[in-house]
Amino acid sequence: MERREFLKLAGVGVAGLLLGFGTGYYTRTPQLVEREVPRRLKTLWIYVGPIADIGWTAAHHEGRGYVETRFGGLVETRFIERVSEAEARKVIESELTRERYDAVFATSYGFKDAVKELARDFKDVKFYHCSGEFEAFQDLPNVTTYFAEFYQLYYLNGVAAGAVTESCKVGYVPAFLIPEVVRHINAFALGAVHGAKLMGKCGGGERLEIYSTSPLKDWFAPDAAAASARHLVIRYNVDVIAFTEDTTSVLDVAEEYHAKGVKVYSFSHYSNMYEHYKKIGKTLKSHLTGQVANWGPIYEYLLARLMAGVFVKEDIWTRIGDFTPFRWRLPVERSTAGQSEGTVYLAPLNTEVIPAKALAEIKRIYEDMKEMAFEPFTGPIRGYKIDFDGRPQEEPKLKVEPGYRLGRGELWYMDWFYEKIISPA
C-alpha cells in the first residue's frame, strides 16, 4: 500500500469517527500528521470467557474480527479466551515478554489491577481497558478506558417488563454487584415501574415487586444463572427476568417455561440472541427485546488513531445514538428502536407481546435518549446502600434530589439500590 492510500484510510478512519463521536461525548480533534507507512500493528485481545458464550466475549470477539476486516493487512489481531481475572497479569505479561505488541485490549472489569501493574512495566504498549474507571488509570499515560453503556437500554427493557408482567413481579440475576451492574439493575427497576404505571398495572406501579438475586460471583456461570432464574420463578412467581451473565442461560430458562405453558419472559444480553436462535432454526417466544453492544466502531476508532500516530489518553463511554450516521431524535413512527445502529441499541422488539402503547413509549423514550432529553436517573429517587452481596446497609432515603440528573461520576460509582428492589440477600 502506498503512503497516500494509507493516509486516506487513516484519515477517513480517524476524522470520520471523530465526527461521529464528536456529536456525542468526545469533542477534541487532533491534528493528523503525515508519516510513512508504519509497520503492521500487532494487537492482543484478552477475554474473560469463551468466544462461544453468545454474549459478552462473543460480542468483543466479533468487534475484533470487524477491525481485522476493516484494516486488512495493516492490523494483526490475536486473542486469548477464558482468562480468569486472577490469572490476567501472568497471562498478559507472558505474551508481552514473548512477543512485541502495540496494543492490548483487556475486556473485563476485573482485569483492572493487571492493566495498572503492566502499564507501568510496558510503557511502549498501549493498553485499552473495558469498563474500568478512568480515575483508576489517571497516572498512566498509556492507558485508555472504554465502555459501551447499557443503563438507558435497561430502562427501556424495564418499561417492556412492567408493561408485560401479569404477576406484578419481575427479577434480575446479576453476576456481580459492581457499580456497572448496580446502575443497570436500578435502571431496569425504574423502567419497570414506569411500564406498569403506563399500562395501569400493579396499582400504577406501586404494587410492582422487583427481585435481585444474590450475585453469581462469576461472569460465565450458565448453570448458576439458570438456577437463579428458576428460583425467581418458583419462589417469587417472577414472570420477567433480566440478567448480567455472559450466556443465554436465563433466556433459555424463560423459553423452557414457555414450552410448558408458563409465560416467563427475558431479554438479549450483549448480543442479539434472538437472531442467534433464528439462525439455528428456532424462534424464541420468551424474548421481549434486550441490550446489544457493537464494539466494532469503538475498536476501529481506537486503532485508527493509534495507526495515525495520534494516540490520546481518553475515556470513551458510548450511549444510545453514538457512532450513528444520524444521532438526533426521530419521530416515534420513524424510530430506530429495535434496529442495529451505533455501539448500543435495542434487540428486536416483540410486537406480539409488548402492548402497542408500551411499544410507542419505548420508541419515544429511545429517541429522546439520543439527545439526552430523557435520562432515567433524574430525581426524586429513593434508595438504600448495599454491600457487594446485596445486603442493605441502611434504611431507604433520598438518593437523587427532585429535578437533579446524575452525571457520569455518580453513575460510575453507584453503590445503592432503588427502594423498590427487594434483595433476598
**DSSP, residue by residue, 302-351:** HHHHHHTT-----EEEE-TTTT-S--S---GGG--TTS--SSEEEPPP-T
CA distances 131 to 58, 134, 195, 352, Å, are: 16, 9, 29, 35
Give the single-character DSSP code of 352.
T
Measured distance CA(413)–CA(108) in Å, rounded: 17
Measured distance CA(146)–CA(389) in Å, rounded: 26
What per-residue string of b and e applies to 380-403 under the rule 16 or more CB within 10 Å gives b? ebebbebeeebebeeebeebbeee
Residue 221, all three cell numbers: 456461570
pLDDT digits (tens, 9 = 90+) for 354-364: 999 999 999 99
pLDDT digit of tens for each residue in the chain (425 aa)?
A: 333 333 334 444 443 444 344 333 333 334 444 445 556 899 999 999 999 999 999 999 999 999 999 998 899 999 999 999 999 999 999 999 999 999 999 999 999 999 999 999 999 999 999 998 999 999 999 999 999 999 999 999 999 999 999 999 999 999 999 999 999 999 999 999 999 999 999 999 999 999 999 999 999 999 999 999 999 999 999 999 999 999 999 999 999 999 999 999 999 999 999 999 999 999 999 999 999 999 999 999 999 999 999 999 999 999 999 999 988 999 999 999 999 999 999 999 999 999 999 999 999 999 999 999 999 999 999 999 999 999 999 999 999 999 999 999 999 999 999 999 999 76
Count the neighbouring beta carbons within 10 Å of the beta carbon of residue 86.
10
Position 348, amino acid? P
Compute φ and ψ for 208, nearest 5 degrees.
-70, 130
Q: Place domain 3-148+295-318 in its CATH homologous superfamily.
A: Response regulator (3.40.50.2300)
- pLDDT the model gives residue 425: 67
Judge if 3-148+295-318 and 151-291+343-422 fold alike in CATH terms. yes
Measured distance CA(374)–CA(28) in Å, rounded: 25
How far does CA 343 lie from the centroid of its chain?
Answer: 9
- pLDDT the model gives residue 92: 98
> Under a CB-based contact definition with an 8 Å cutoff, are residues 397 and 382 in contact?
yes
Local structure of 392: helix, strand or coil: strand
Cis peptide bond N-terminal to 380, omega within 30: yes
Q: Which fold has domain 151-291+343-422?
A: Rossmann fold (3.40.50)
Is 95 buried (19+), middle (13-18) or exposed (0-12) by CB count in 10 A? middle
User: Where do the domains of the chain lie?
Assistant: 3-148+295-318, 151-291+343-422
Is 32 buried (19+), middle (13-18) or exposed (0-12) by CB count in 10 A? middle
Residue 164, all three cell numbers: 408485560
